[in-house]
Structure 1
Amino acid sequence: MATRSSRAPLGQRSTNIQNGSASTKSSLLGKKDSSSKSIAFERKASDNSNNKGISSMSSNTLRRALSASSANSEASSNAETGASGGFVKKQYVSSSSTLTNKTNTPPDSIITEHRKRPNGDGYTVHQYMRGKLLGKGGFAKVYQVTSLDTNKIYAAKIVPKANLVKNRARQKLQTEIKIHRTMKHVNVCEYKHFFEDKTNCYILLEICHNQSCNEMIKRRKSLTEEETRFFMLQIIDAVSFMHDSNVIHRDLKLGNLFLSKTMNIKVGDFGLAVRVDSSDEKRKTICGTPNYIAPEVINGNKEKREHSFEVDIWSMGVICFTMLVGKPPYESKDVKSTYRRILNNEYSFPKGKVSSDARAFISSMLQSDPSLRPSLTELRQHAFISHNQIPGSLPSSCTYSAPSWSTDEFGELQVVNPTSALDINISNSAPAPQAKPASSASSKFAIYDEVQSTSKPAVSNDDRVITKLSGCVASCRIDDDEVREPPPSSATSQDPKPSPAAANSDEVSELERMHSNLDVCLANFERIQNGGGKMEARAIAMVEESKWVSRFVDYTSKYGLGFLLNDGSSGVYFNDSTKAVLSASSDSFVYIERRKS
């Protein structure tokens, strides 16, 4: 569940002096820590000036007034010009409050776009239904929206025009759109479309179903080195593409690394990005996020305060450290202390937490002198990446729990036993592993509304699922001295004969073994019910009165997992592993403390 991020003190958010008034988040999914939010020094003044004329009007009153005026002025307003030869070409959208509500959907949740035809003759109407809030920044909110024309889902970044009164703010948004729309890469959150109405600007983006790496670290505390290599290789590919396009992101951090349905990195939020004319060009703007900002950006000497592509390399080093350790290397109680530690390059690795290859990899990026930091090619060839195995894919269960690893018949690293049906489906729809891990940059770009794969699942994945089910059945055997195992059948005492209906003899063997295990369970259970065993009455009652989860709601990003049992009782499995259950009649409440190890 996505949660709103609370506003932190000014010094705890990202800094952008030059173009701060338009610094926003492209897709904040979930609550962020105070050290990773956007700062804008012009924000307060901008908000005050914008609110003077409308402070006495409610939002609904203002919306109705704008709706009435839009009908009269729409035909005569053809474009909005800006300081640099025109802002973004205007595409008219009627106010949502004037729509004819043909469904039960509240009018305010419908956004209507009047898109100009390519030949310039008239407009086409497109509607979007606004859904849940995915996140918010200082100057924009991000909602999930669904196109009523195509039923496709987008992440819509909505920027109120009240925040774009200043010319610099409009130029900043224009720059963000111009850069983002050209960033077509498998590991970059895809820009879809832009339009505007009388009150807002709308940027439609690729939806990322698994939130961001920031939420993943909050749940997991830290990642395994295998996962970190998987993500870092994709980040290297994305940043290489940006740098080859002369684009410096300048705000790489966990909160801007989003995760697709298939757990691939999607770099987002180009609000602080800049495109330079040449690789030698330097910038002097102080911008970034305190925990991730490079020392040359905040250098006290104004003459030496200049930066270039190397700031992204520094941020990647902070990202890698945070993934493995669980917190940024320079994090401290306040921003001044954080900046002091960055300038002095004061950080340390916890003992026994990080391998020597990972230490060398991170340390190479976290060098105070930008000229000493490695290139992206050198990072890709580093021993941490090139001399260690990298999994071909990750299941979505990795957002909540650490995976277990094994190697398949090709010697490739893969996750053992996905923990949910969703993970099994995802792993089955993934391509079969190749002899060598393929670079994410070479794979086909997957658009946001990913089409379900029609390829057949790999045999090794089926084997893992069958083995897992078989293991679950075997674990149901009752530990009792008097319980006897049925005599082995011919199917289990000798190798199974190949079946023409079976695609693989191993699958037939697994199914026969499962059938035998089920026979054991049923025979033993019938014997115990007839009084032939020494099992306690309480255990028998538990078997006879089994309960299961019939419905659940996921609040693990903040509280825990709420559930409803088949008998009507409900409860919560909290993130700290404590549990609370309320009976169906509401006359009994049980709180279970965390089991001590």
Structure 2
Amino acid sequence: MVTGKRKTKNGDILTFDYYQGKFLGKGAFAKCYEMTSKEDGKVYAGKVIEKASLTKSNALQKLYTEIKNHSLLKHQNVVRFYNYFEDEKSYYLILEMCNHKTLRSLLRKRKHLTEVECRYYLYQILEALHHIHCKEIMHRDLKLDNIFLKNMSVKIGDFGLSVKLENGEKKKTVCGTPNYIAPEVLEKTGHSYPADIWSVGVIMYTLLVGVPPFETPNITETYQRIKDNSYCFPTTSEISSTAKDLISKLLVSNPDMRPPISSVLSHPFFLGPLPRSIPEYTLVRSPENDIRNASPLKNQLAKLPLQPISENIPTTPKTNPHKHFSFVAPSPPGTPTVVGVRPANPQARTGVHPLAAQPNPTLASLARPALSAQGKKRKLDAEKELAADNPQKKKKVGNDDEGNEQIKQFLNILNHQLENMKPIDKENVVVVTDCKSVMIEDVMISKDIQWVSKWVDYSQKYGIGYVLRDGTIGVSFVDKTHIWSSEGSTCFKDQTMISPKVIDADSETDPRIMKRIHLHTLFNKYLTSQVLSSAGLGVELKPNTPLESVYVTRWHKSTRAITFLMSNNSYQINFFQDHTKIIASLQETDNTIRLLFVNPQGNKHTLPLTSLINPDHTDALEKVKYLAHVLSKNFS
């Protein structure tokens, strides 16, 4: 039994108890063990650093930096950081357990991988790396040993050498693993995010060839080969020209010439087959035809390698390491397109993702900074920019009473039913023990239920773009104006209007409406060409005429979920971590709450609120209560 303590910022002392299990591996300064929580029995990986090993003056500060940086990262392809504490002898970092070891252990058994496998792993590495860089963090030690596998998916870990970069700064400390170090690191000319891109090139080469491109028996000679960019492809290897071309672009000596992640993902290499998953047997032998013949990335329900923006988490680094991303009009016809990014346009950048793309962050152990004054000013400036041409200037920007009475009515009924729920006969209960597994069969859903199928978040500048179940495409702007289109017609509504009006996009002369028409066009093209529908929530109904169409009136996003309020008085909440979605609406005939649950696999289940009661309790009920909390706190 390991018992440790941690002091909070408030001065409270927290105590943690874990059962230390089998040894998992070791690094330069730490050993890893299987750690089981005494409290809930969950199994984690425990990184144990003996205090006696931290002999250098800055060693402890480096450990704190690792904890701080790693705790900021919440992405499906990054090892999750859960907790940290210490006892008299050691520091303990409690991390996500990865059951399939690392890419290094995989390569030891396989010698080298196929291009399909390389593409599969590389895509996930790039997704994770984009998330890391967007938090203004540089990893600085990307290598096969630090890329873990859990259920055959990538998990980047070990942030012991990671560093925060601010205001375009560059670091000059020589650090990393010899075979993976970028030339600018060795030259001490200053290094930044492109050094991680170099390491990705080394990783790609190593996966396909079996050995690193610059490896020699002598470190000095290896370093010289890196500086000279001296490597070659074995004549016996069957590596495609597109793979070689991408490697050559990643391993460019000049860091300024290395491509940003958006351009990497738009490379023709990623137009080849990309499986959605890889079977476990590939740990020991080559994949079979079912994997080799996987669909190309552009044909799949793939994920955006980007997370939704949040008010107090920078969407991109202040130094903008991926300056080639931008929310702009689509590229000219004929340019390559990769699902989930804006690869066709080298100037593209976005801070958006499809609903099911990835779990959204909540900081587990270190407090997240509040929205800075500068961040608040940017958001207010965005509202003012759109509101500047609004004739109702006396109306306070951001003050929206639209639908408040309906929300209060819905909340009153919801809270009343939650407070008065009583256990009923088990035979009459729909058991919902876990939102992820409850819905086994797809059910026929009433046509009057609407949902948000796709969405993109650009609220720091403009607003939320979305696609509904019936194909309606709309934008809800930060100044509380709305525009949406259906069946070839467009509707507009602002706070001064009781009901929306149909507008002619081609002949409109009102400058404020023209501006929103233009933005709607950009959102429309992006949503239809780049963003994928959430699992189970596709576009499946014949569209209504615009004035009959439902549209999103308001939204709220926390670190846990995003909530949409729709004009038909229904409410949709999408949870980032487990990808569960709930659509709730009020049945006016009997004043009961109807719920539609959608699990990560896309299975749907409709049920009344009272059906959530069961002897085992349920996270589904907790999620409904969270929806009530969000509505009460942010909308009523």
- When normalised by structure 1's length, the TM-score is 0.50
- DSSP-derived class of the 1:172 partner: helix
Q: Identify the residue that residue 283 of structure 1 maps to in structure 2.
A: 171
Which structure 2 segments of 5+ residues have no match? 307-352, 362-433, 443-636
Q: Identify the residue that residue 64 of structure 2 maps to in structure 1.
A: 174
Deviations 1:277-333 (A, max 9, x none): 12x21111000111000111112xx5xx21111100100000000001111011111
How many residues are aligned here? 320
Q: Identify the residue that residue 265 of structure 1 maps to in structure 2.
A: 154
- Correspondent of 1:321 among 205, 214, 218: 205
- Correspondent of 2:94 among 200, 204, 211: 204
Q: Percent identity?
A: 41
- Counterparts of 2:256 and 2:10, CA distance in 1: 51
* Displacement after TM superposition at 1:434 (Å): 8.1
* Displacement after TM superposition at 1:456 (Å): 5.0
**Match of 1:445, as an amino acid?**
P
Q: Identify the residue that residue 358 of structure 2 maps to in structure 1.
A: 444
Structure 1 residues 119 and 255, CA gap change in structure 2 (3 angstroms): closer
- Counterparts of 1:181 and 1:312, CA distance in 2: 20
Q: Identify the residue that residue 83 of structure 2 maps to in structure 1.
A: 193
Q: Identify the residue that residue 290 of structure 2 maps to in structure 1.
A: 406
- Counterparts of 1:451 and 1:253, CA distance in 2: 36
Contact 1:234–1:265 (Cα < 8 Å) also in 2: yes
**Match of 1:111, as an amino acid?**
V
Structure 1 residues 134 and 408, CA gap change in structure 2 (3 angstroms): closer
Q: Identify the residue that residue 230 of structure 2 maps to in structure 1.
A: 346
**Match of 2:179, as an amino acid?**
N
Are 1:184 and 2:77 an aligned pair?
Answer: no
- DSSP-derived class of the 1:234 partner: helix
Q: Identify the residue that residue 250 of structure 1 maps to in structure 2.
A: 140
Alignment of 1:545-564 (within 5 A): none
Contact 1:391–1:437 (Cα < 8 Å) also in 2: no
* Displacement after TM superposition at 1:412 (Å): 3.4
Are 1:113 and 2:4 an aligned pair?
Answer: yes
**Match of 2:4, as an amino acid?**
E
* Displacement after TM superposition at 1:445 (Å): 2.8
- Counterparts of 2:208 and 2:292, CA distance in 1: 25
Q: Identify the residue that residue 184 of structure 2 maps to in structure 1.
A: 296
Deviations 1:150-185 (A, max 9, x none): 110111111111123443111111111111110111
Q: Identify the residue that residue 521 of structure 1 maps to in structure 2.
A: none
* Displacement after TM superposition at 1:446 (Å): 9.6
Contact 1:259–1:266 (Cα < 8 Å) also in 2: yes
- Counterparts of 1:118 and 1:311, CA distance in 2: 35
- Counterparts of 1:115 and 1:172, CA distance in 2: 18
- Counterparts of 2:292 and 2:244, CA distance in 1: 28
Structure 1 residues 311 and 170, CA gap change in structure 2 (3 angstroms): same
- Counterparts of 2:283 and 2:53, CA distance in 1: 35
- Counterparts of 2:267 and 2:241, CA distance in 1: 12
Contact 1:392–1:413 (Cα < 8 Å) also in 2: no
- DSSP-derived class of the 1:378 partner: helix
- DSSP-derived class of the 2:290 partner: strand
Q: Which has the higher helix share?
A: 1
Alignment of 1:143-154 (within 5 A): 143-154=33-44
Deviations 1:436-466 (A, max 9, x none): 433465523399xx998566599xxxxxxxx
Higher CA-based Rg? 1
- Correspondent of 1:375 among 243, 260, 264: 260
Structure 1 residues 187 and 290, CA gap change in structure 2 (3 angstroms): same
Structure 1 residues 244 and 435, CA gap change in structure 2 (3 angstroms): closer
**Match of 1:398, as an amino acid?**
T
**Match of 1:269, as an amino acid?**
D
**Match of 1:444, as an amino acid?**
Q
Structure 1 residues 405 and 438, CA gap change in structure 2 (3 angstroms): farther
* Displacement after TM superposition at 1:116 (Å): 6.3
Are 1:309 and 2:223 an aligned pair?
Answer: no
* Displacement after TM superposition at 1:392 (Å): 0.6
- Correspondent of 2:123 among 223, 228, 233: 233
- Correspondent of 2:45 among 155, 160, 172: 155
* Displacement after TM superposition at 1:408 (Å): 12
Structure 1 residues 344 and 120, CA gap change in structure 2 (3 angstroms): closer
- Counterparts of 1:323 and 1:117, CA distance in 2: 43
Contact 1:412–1:436 (Cα < 8 Å) also in 2: no
Contact 1:390–1:437 (Cα < 8 Å) also in 2: no
Contact 2:146–2:157 (Cα < 8 Å) also in 1: yes
- Counterparts of 1:355 and 1:184, CA distance in 2: 34
Structure 1 residues 164 and 329, CA gap change in structure 2 (3 angstroms): same
- Counterparts of 1:191 and 1:180, CA distance in 2: 6
- Counterparts of 1:403 and 1:150, CA distance in 2: 38
- Correspondent of 1:216 among 93, 101, 106: 106
Structure 1 residues 360 and 451, CA gap change in structure 2 (3 angstroms): farther
**Match of 1:363, as an amino acid?**
S
Alignment of 1:120-135 (within 5 A): 125-135=15-25
Contact 2:72–2:135 (Cα < 8 Å) also in 1: no
Q: Identify the residue that residue 251 of structure 2 maps to in structure 1.
A: 366
**Match of 1:289, as an amino acid?**
T
**Match of 2:119, as an amino acid?**
R
Contact 2:272–2:296 (Cα < 8 Å) also in 1: no
Q: Identify the residue that residue 532 of structure 1 maps to in structure 2.
A: none
Are 1:337 and 2:221 an aligned pair?
Answer: yes
- Counterparts of 2:10 and 2:221, CA distance in 1: 58
- When normalised by structure 2's length, the TM-score is 0.47
Deviations 1:110-143 (A, max 9, x none): 101356699867x665421111111112221111
Structure 1 residues 144 and 398, CA gap change in structure 2 (3 angstroms): same
- DSSP-derived class of the 1:288 partner: coil
Deviations 1:221-244 (A, max 9, x none): 011111111111111111111111
Q: Identify the residue that residue 394 of structure 1 maps to in structure 2.
A: 278
**Match of 2:263, as an amino acid?**
E
Which structure 1 segments of 5+ residues have no match? 1-109, 415-432, 459-597
Structure 1 residues 125 and 216, CA gap change in structure 2 (3 angstroms): same
Deviates more, 1:331-340 or 1:206-215: 331-340
- DSSP-derived class of the 2:289 partner: strand
Structure 1 residues 353 and 306, CA gap change in structure 2 (3 angstroms): same
Contact 1:320–1:362 (Cα < 8 Å) also in 2: yes
- DSSP-derived class of the 1:271 partner: coil
Structure 1 residues 407 and 316, CA gap change in structure 2 (3 angstroms): closer
- Counterparts of 2:135 and 2:5, CA distance in 1: 33
Structure 1 residues 189 and 166, CA gap change in structure 2 (3 angstroms): same
Contact 1:208–1:259 (Cα < 8 Å) also in 2: yes
Contact 1:158–1:202 (Cα < 8 Å) also in 2: yes
Deviations 1:542-561 (A, max 9, x none): xxxxxxxxxxxxxxxxxxxx
- Counterparts of 2:67 and 2:41, CA distance in 1: 24
- Counterparts of 2:10 and 2:253, CA distance in 1: 54
